[in-house]
Amino acid sequence: MTTSSPGTSLSLKPAIVDEGVPPTASNVFISGTPRVGQVLTGRYTYADVDGDLEGASTFRWLRGTTPIVGATAQTYALVAADEGAMVSFEVTPVALSGLSPGLAVPSEPVGPVIPEPDPPTPPTASSVLISGTPRVGQVLTGSYAYADTEGDLEGASTFRWLRNGTPIAGATDRAYALVAADQGTLVSFEVTPVAQSGASPGVAVTSAAVGPVIPEPNSPTPPTASGVSISGTPRVGQVLTGSYTYGDVEGDLEGASTFRWLRDNVVIAGATARSYALVATDEGALIRFEVTPVAQSGPSPGLAVTSASVGPVTHDPDPPTPPTASSVFISGAAQVGQVLTGSYTYADAEGDLQGASTFRWLRDGTPIAGATAQTYTLIVADQGTMVRFEVTPVAQSGPSPGLAVTSAAVGPVTPTLGRDRDDGPPFVCNGSRCLVPLKCNAVGISCTARVTLFAFVPRARLSDRPLAQAVRRIRFAATVVSVPPGETRTVRLRVTPRGRRLVNSGTRRILRGVLEIRNSPGGIQTTPIRLRIRARR
């Protein structure tokens, strides 16, 4: 197709569209705990050489090497079928425009997936029994062993006393003084265990009945001990305490009652106090407390009474450990002006949540002043050096901090060539050249790069076919340049044949475009720009 106007003639030929290259995904990994019921999250870094923004990238989760049906989101809640399996995440990067999709990239698998913990259970009461003489005027004491699978401490457990199976009004304490109405009946003790936290209360448990209750005697009797029990944790290094209720029908006050502790029913030498500190020899044994009640006056002593056993005694637990950091690595281009990001995996054997973990960046093994965030922007001083990221894990509670862990080094850091000003005026171009001011961010070494200008123009201006006004990117001008260290120079870029046709087409004077700088060695920088086109004189 040929068009003309006074003094000019323009011939437009079909344009060849530069499709570019597809997007890429990198640093693909999974965060979260590999346990049934937990949610895993797939993470990755999207990139596109042509600067195309990310579109609807697609995801898959795999159990072993088999895709999981329906698991196509960036997160995945682990189910029972995943137990014992290795799970991985796969992402296929998709761009909003340009050549797409990119290649699918899988993460390293995590696992094996561990089962979901059992739900909490309420506390239990066992070994429920009554101590004391079933005689009018005597005091009966209920005792029991409290236990909770989750280790929840005992709260305000409730009690009832029953006369021939019927609750006795007001009898809601652990001890009960028998009255005339109890004579000839059977008496039992009931406890409902209650925990301070977690699932509660437990199931009520009733003791065997004692009786029938006999009438009160006329002759004096020795004192009694009832409700004999042990409190404390049966673990080496812990202190057990013996408890009991002293009673005397005649009201004689307690004197110097005597005590003994027994290991598997054998008396422990020297253990004659109401408390006893468990030692290594007690590990695996059952421990009992025995009291012989002694009155200050009247018939004495009474009968020795032994508690129910506690144990077996366990060993002293291992001390808690500080948190750890693993999989410490750096993402980002090792190039002056680029941002590096430190990543790591936090873990704590006791499940303590992460607190304010601390970070450092090191240049050739030496800490960089002020570089204490999880990201770091490379500066000229980093050129030619190796850079590392260090994390010291800190927990919100428990032993902390953990050991500092350093990533593998990235580098050596390369210099970069870039625009003198990001907010500068439009670049001036005519039919043969473009002038672009560039600065070398380096010390002692020149910046070498391939510099290319791309312009965004409507398709209709590049083809003789009737097309919608969709925007296409054309390679407008390019050159290879070397700028001395620390200097700013105006670089002349040669306009491509397609660029010359665009200038001669009489298109608008200012176009949007992209400045692409391919540093050597180094990465690719792309910056939005404006092009001011002037007719060639």
Res. 405 pLDDT band, cuts 50 70 90: very high
Q: What is the pLDDT of residue 336?
A: 80
- Greater model confidence, 306 or 249: 306
Q: Is 276 left (phi over 0), alpha (psi -120 to 50) or beta?
A: beta
Position 169 pLDDT exceeds 50: yes
Which stretches does DSSP call E strand in 378-498?
387-392, 405-406, 416-419, 427-429, 433-441, 447-458, 471-483, 488-495
Q: 10-117, what's its fold?
A: Immunoglobulin-like (2.60.40)
Among 250-254, 380-384, 391-395, the least confident range: 380-384
pLDDT tens, residue by residue, 258-275:
999 999 999 999 999 999
Position 16 pLDDT exceeds 90: no
Nearest to 477 by CA among 532, 522, 524, 416: 532
Residue ranges of domains in the chain: 10-117, 124-306, 318-414, 416-533
Residue 385 CA to chain centroid, in angstroms?
Answer: 33
Are 217 and 105 a contacting pair, CB within 8 Å? no
- Greater model confidence, 237 or 63: 63
Position 80 pLDDT exceeds 50: yes
Res. 481 pLDDT band, cuts 50 70 90: confident
How many residues does the structure list for the chain?
Answer: 537
Res. 466 pLDDT band, cuts 50 70 90: very low
Q: What is the pLDDT of residue 465?
A: 46
Res. 527 pLDDT band, cuts 50 70 90: confident
Pick among 3.40.50.150, 2.60.40.10, 2.60.40.2700, 3.40.50.2000: CATH of 124-306: 2.60.40.2700
* 50 sits in which H/E element: none
pLDDT tens, residue by residue, 487-516:
888 888 888 888 788 777 765 577 788 888
Position 520 pLDDT exceeds 70: no
Res. 227 pLDDT band, cuts 50 70 90: very high
Q: Is 9 left (phi over 0), alpha (psi -120 to 50) or beta?
A: beta
How far apart are alpha carbons 182 and 189 in whole angstroms?
A: 14
Residue 378 CA to chain centroid, in angstroms?
Answer: 29
Torsion (CA) 230, 234, 236, 237 in degrees, nearest 10: -50
Q: Strand 339-347 to strand 287-292: parallel, antiparallel, or no bridges (unpaired)?
A: unpaired
Position 10 pLDDT exceeds 50: no
Among 269-273, 406-410, 467-471, the least confident range: 467-471
pLDDT tens, residue by residue, 343-374:
999 999 889 999 999 999 999 999 999 999 99
Q: What is the pLDDT of residue 424?
A: 60
Pick among 1.10.260.40, 3.50.50.60, 2.60.40.2700, 3.10.450.100: CATH of 318-414: 2.60.40.2700
Neighbours of 465 (CB within 10 A): 11
**Residue 466 buriedness (CB in 10 A; 0-12 / 13-18 / 19+):** exposed
- Greater model confidence, 41 or 18: 41
Position 287 pLDDT exceeds 80: yes
Position 68 pLDDT exceeds 90: yes
Position 394 pLDDT exceeds 50: yes
Residues whose CB falls within 8 Å of the CB of residue 51, separated by 6 or more in sequence, listed in order: 514, 526
How far apart are alpha carbons 479 and 495 in whole angstroms?
A: 9
pLDDT tens, residue by residue, 310-345:
989 998 777 788 999 999 999 988 878 789 999 999
Neighbours of 212 (CB within 10 A): 13
pLDDT tens, residue by residue, 106-127:
999 999 999 987 788 899 999 9
Residues whose CB falls within 8 Å of the CB of residue 366, separated by 6 or more in sequence, listed in order: none
Q: 416-533, what's its fold?
A: Immunoglobulin-like (2.60.40)
Q: What is the pLDDT of residue 183?
A: 87
Q: What is the pLDDT of residue 357?
A: 96
- Greater model confidence, 442 or 235: 235
Position 140 pLDDT exceeds 60: yes
- Inter-CA distances, 169 with 135, 159, 172, 436, Å: 19, 12, 8, 99
- Taking CA 120 as the corner, what is the angle to CA 114 and CA 122, rounded to the nearest 5 degrees? 155
- The letter for the amino acid at 296 is Q
Shared fold status for 10-117 and 124-306? yes
Q: What is the pLDDT of residue 420?
A: 60
Position 464 pLDDT exceeds 60: no
